[in-house]
Amino acid sequence: MSVNILLKALGCRLNEAELEQWARSFQSHGHHIVADTDDADIIIINSCAVTNDAGKKSRQLLSRLYRTNPEAHLVVTGCYASLNLDEVADTLGVDLVVSNADKDKLPKLVLDKFAIRTMPLMAMEPGETSLFLRGRNRAFIKIQDGCRYRCTYCIVTIARGDERSRSDKDIIDEINAFSEQGIQEIVLTGVHVGGYGSDISTSLAQLVTSILENTDIPRIRFASVEPWDLPEDFFSLFSNTRLMPHMHLPIQSGVNSVLRRMSRRCKTDEFKSLVEQARRSVSGFNVTTDIIVGFPGETEDEWQQTMEYIESVGFGHMHVFSYSAREGTKATSLANPVPNAIKKQRSLQMRTLADTMKASFYSQLVGVESQVLWEKARANQAGNLVFHGYTPNYVRVQTEVVSDNSSANLENNITSVQIERFDDETSMLYGQSLRNSD
C-alpha cells in the first residue's frame, strides 16, 4: 500500500535539504510526496528553534495542519521538537516525535510506526522529483550535521549535537542522482559547513575537489559557512567556474569585544582578510553576511564601531537580527541587556546601511553580461512570461519573454543575460535573455 506524504520545513536550508533526502527515500519505497495538506496520509514537520519566533511558528504550524487534516498522522522533528520533546509529544494530533539524533532514520521510523509495507518501485514516477516545492533547478545537499562550537547565543548547536559528516561518496551519489533528474544547481548545507570532515579525516576543500571531479552538475554553491576553518588557499577552488562566486559568511558583530562575548572564533581583521581573499579570487565575488543587533552589553561605542566596520567591508546583502534570548544558552546570563527600543533603533540603522550597500553592489552589474539560471515563470497582464533567476554571484534578475516566442520557456535553463537596469524599489536587476549558455 502506498501513502501520500506531505513534508514541511521551517527555518534553515539544512532543514529543507533533509526534507529532500526523506522525500527520495519515501519515493523509492513507492510512496507519493504531495503538496496539499488535504491529500496527505502522513504529515512530517521539520521544526525550527533558532529564535523565539521560530518556535512560535512551529507551534502554529502544528496546530494549523492538525485542524486542516485531523485524519493524517502527524510527525514532528527538528530543533524545536528536540528541545521540547515532552511538550511536542503532548500536542494535540502529534503521533510521533523524532529527535535530531534519529533524523537519519526518520523514513524507516515513520514506515515502521504506521506499519506501512510496500515493495520499492523499479523507478520513480515519470517526472517526479524530490524537489516537490522548489521546481526542478536547485537542490540542497546536506553534507554534515551538528557543531563542535558553542556560540553563546546559539540554541541550534545544542539541539543538533556533535558534528557528523556524510561520506563524500554518499554526497556525490546524491548529487549525481539530482543531476540525472535535470537539476542544474546544488547548495552544500549543514550546521557547520566549514567544519565538514573534522570527524572523518577530510575537509570541505577536499569534498569540493571531489565533487568537481566526480559530478557534472553545472552549478555548485554553499549555504552559510562560518568564517573560520577555511584553509588559506580555499578560494583558489573558485578558479573552476562551476563553483559559484558567492558565499554567506556570518560575522554577527563588527567589534572584537562583542565577538568575544558571543564566543565567536573569528576576529574582525581576520574576517576582512577572508573577504579580500574571496574578492581577489573572482571579480564580482558576492559576500553576504548576518548581523546580530543589541547583543547583551553592546555599548553605543561598540555599536558605532560595528556600523563603521560593516560599511568598510561592504556586503551584497545582509540578514539583520535583533538579539533574542534563548533559554538554555549562555548569553541569557550575560549582564547589561540592551533595551528593546535601542535594539529597534539600531536594527533600523543597520538595515538602512544594508540597503545602501546592496544597491551599490547591484548597480555595478548594470551593463554586464551574466549567466542566469531561470526559475518558473508567471504571466503578466500583457500575457507575456516573466522569469526570475540568479546570476553566478547570487543576484536576482528578471526578464520578460513574449509568450508566443518559440524560445519562451526559459525555466531551468542557463542563458546569457544583458543586465539593463537596477530598480531601487524592487531591489532587483532587469535584463534581456540573449541565448542559451554553452
Q: Are strands 317-322 and 286-293 parallel, antiparallel or unpaired?
A: parallel
* Contact by Cβ (8 Å): 42, 5: yes
DSSP 8-state secondary structure symbol assigned to residue 121: P
* Number of C-beta neighbours around residue 217 at 10 A: 19
Q: Which residues pair with 42 in a beta bridge?
A: 5, 73
Q: Reading across the β-sheet that carries 185-189, which strands appear in turn?
A: 138-142, 185-189, 219-222
What is the pLDDT at residue 121? 39
Cα–Cα distances in angstroms (integers) from residue 399 to residues 53, 73, 104, 408, in the given order? 35, 43, 40, 11
What is the pLDDT at residue 245? 97
pLDDT digits (tens, 9 = 90+) for 354-405: 999 999 999 999 999 999 999 878 888 777 888 999 999 999 999 988 766 5
Residues 6+ apart with CB under 8 A from 437: 371, 413, 414, 415, 416
CA–CA dist 322, 335 (Å, integer): 17
Query: Which pTM was predicted?
Result: 0.79
CA–CA dist 337, 319 (Å, integer): 21
Q: Say which CATH topology domain 369-436 has.
A: OB fold (Dihydrolipoamide Acetyltransferase, E2P) (2.40.50)
Q: Which CATH number is associated with domain 4-113?
A: 3.40.50.12160
- Give the CB-side neighbour count of residue 189, counting CA atoms within 13 A: 20
Identify the H or E element spanning 299.
Answer: none
CA–CA dist 410, 415 (Å, integer): 8
Confidence of residue 217 (pLDDT cuts 50, 70, 90): very high
Q: Reading across the β-sheet that carries 94-97, which strands appear in turn?
A: 32-34, 4-9, 42-47, 73-78, 94-97
* Number of C-beta neighbours around residue 211 at 10 A: 22
For residue 131, pLDDT beyond 50? no
- Residue type for position 92: L
For residue 26, pLDDT beyond 70? yes
C-alpha cell recorded at residue 280: 581577489
What is the pLDDT at residue 231? 84
Domain ranges for the chain: 4-113, 138-363, 369-436
CA 12 from centre of chain: 5
Q: Which CATH number is associated with domain 138-363?
A: 3.80.30.20
Confidence of residue 136 (pLDDT cuts 50, 70, 90): low
Between 128 and 40, name the one with better pLDDT.
40
C-alpha cell recorded at residue 107: 523514513
CA–CA dist 106, 405 (Å, integer): 46
Scored b (16 or more CB within 10 A) or e, 388-427 reads ebbbbbbbbbbbbbeeeeeeeebbbbbbbbebeebeeeee
Cα–Cα distances in angstroms (integers) from residue 330 to residues 135, 158, 177, 197, 334, in the given order? 40, 11, 42, 27, 7
* Contact by Cβ (8 Å): 187, 175: no
Confidence of residue 92 (pLDDT cuts 50, 70, 90): confident
